[in-house]
Homo-oligomer: A and B are copies of this chain.
């Protein structure tokens, strides 16, 4: 690991943190952030030293308060800065003299509102002291394991009725890293990931990226053992070559999914006024992502769905998909979407067709079942039929991945097949994704059980197909760059397949 990248560790594992602009006013960001740290320290999760910095207070939440960082008797690795923009350059100079390693600048009022020079002063001061800066105009980092949480949005919110409701939850630990240029999208993502039970390894909101860029964070996450998939929300990339260089390195080891907004002319104009991002031609981004092996999601839902699939399943080393269903219509919808996405749903090999015929002859599956791909076991499906058919499909050498549509409405289907399918899938290094349609008890149970067992579930046929597309895109990229075998060997070593 390069030294500059190693330094980023202070953003996630700081031995000591000073919160500059900590306050007792509970509706202020400086209160929320300091409280996050102090609470996590009480709970024994944050193990570092904690210092509030505010010249007007003696102590905050029981912690002795310092008028400025230089007064803190011990070393400070990380500072979190929540003071008005114009005060930040002076703070950075003090931080430099204090030999601080890293600074998260939450404060806004810099380049995004036209104050480019002020931002440059801050960067200048930091550079002199060898301090890495995250932000400004960002939310900073969240890492559940060390209790670092610089999000100034409290987990709950009090409504006018007096009710306290969950508003900005922190997700459980997991293998998805989420990094974002937009803070608002970042908290929305945390809310989404929490509700969908998708665990997060690291969260980084990098805002104006005056120093630390998306490329730096990607590079850091390459070495992060807890991260299996990286989700990135971007509005622009300033150093394109650097991004491409890092992306190639990272995507050889772990998938990266990006949502790049500002695709349209009006969108780019809006983005410019938002983070000061100057978006280039969207086609250039498309090309860069493709070259770097970065998978681009078309919209928010696809973004998370792709991340989920890549976090749970191995890539597909080919674009021919086996579709297994108990519901004709949704089966057709899946095939439609596969073809629209450039995947194929080809007739099985003769050997597989033969094996299905034998099952029909033995009355194991219905004679009227369609079995040439898609396999439609019809509404008469049973748990056993699904399992037997799935096994045959995994065995077909021409099938690179399987989409299972297990509509629970069919009367003969129980829940037993879920664990059965997962067991069968675990024997093969091909991916499987599933779909059940519905928003009531049994549908929710079915999807959540599959998810828990790392077969990613989706609520519509097309979502399942799009998730499979991500697995295919990544698999083909690994093949093209000649690292597919190496990647799979690594997965097997880590026993990460299907899990």
Binding site for B on A (CB under 8 A): 27, 113, 152-154, 157, 159-161, 165-169, 180-185, 187-189, 191-192, 194-196, 233, 235, 259, 261-267, 270-271, 273-275, 298-301, 326-333, 335-340, 344-346, 368, 370, 374, 376, 379, 407-411, 414-416, 437-445, 459-463
Contacts and interface: CB of A to CB of B under 8 A. Distances in A.
A136 to B, nearest CB: 14
A241 to B, nearest CB: 25
A337 B267 CA distance: 9
A328 B184 contact: yes
10 closest Cβ pairs, A-B complex: A195-B439, A182-B329, A191-B438, A184-B327, A274-B328, A264-B339, A188-B437, A185-B329, A166-B441, A267-B336
Given A265-B339, A440-B169, A445-B165, A184 B329 contact: yes
Given A153-B410, A195-B444, A299-B333, 9 more contacts: A153-B411, A166-B441, A182-B328, A191-B409, A191-B438, A233-B329, A262-B336, A271-B328, A301-B460
A440 B336 contact: no
Given A167-B409, A188-B327, A270 B374 contact: yes
Contacts of A189: 437
Contacts of A183: 329, 379
Contact of A335 (B157, B182, B267, B444): B267
Contacts of A335: 264, 266-267, 270
17 contacts: A152-B411, A153-B409, A157-B408, A157-B442, A159-B414, A166-B442, A182-B328, A184-B328, A184-B330, A188-B407, A192-B438, A192-B439, A195-B444, A261-B336, A299-B333, A299-B461, A301-B460
A307 B374 CA distance: 29
A460 B299 contact: yes
Contacts of A27: 411
A360 to B, nearest CB: 13
A463 B304 CA distance: 14
A440 B332 contact: no
A460 B301 CA distance: 7
Contact of A370 (B270, B301, B346): B270
Given A261-B333, A274-B376, A374-B270, A440 B166 contact: yes
B270 A332 contact: yes
A274 B271 CA distance: 47
Nearest to A155: B440
Nearest to A29: B411
Nearest to A408: B167
B329 A274 contact: yes
A321 to B, nearest CB: 10
Contacts of A259: 333
Contacts of A298: 462
A107 B274 CA distance: 60
A91 to B, nearest CB: 22
Contact of A439 (B187, B191, B267, B463): B191
Contacts of A331: 270, 274
Contact of A438 (B188, B270, B327, B329): B188
A264 B438 CA distance: 25
Contact of A267 (B157, B181, B339): B339
A152 B345 CA distance: 31
A368 B110 CA distance: 12
Contact of A328 (B166, B275, B299): B275
Given A329-B261, A336-B264, A195 B440 contact: yes
Contacts of A271: 328, 332
A68 B163 CA distance: 62
A379 B184 contact: yes
Contacts of A166: 440-442
A417 B339 CA distance: 44
A332 B184 CA distance: 11
A194 B440 contact: yes
Contacts of A328: 182, 184, 270-271, 274-275
Nearest to A109: B368
Given A168-B409, A409-B187, A274 B443 contact: no
Nearest to A460: B300
Contact of A160 (B299, B344, B416): B416
Contacts of A327: 182, 184-185, 188
A333 B165 CA distance: 27
B441 A167 contact: yes
A142 to B, nearest CB: 14
Given A187-B409, A329-B235, A167 B460 contact: no
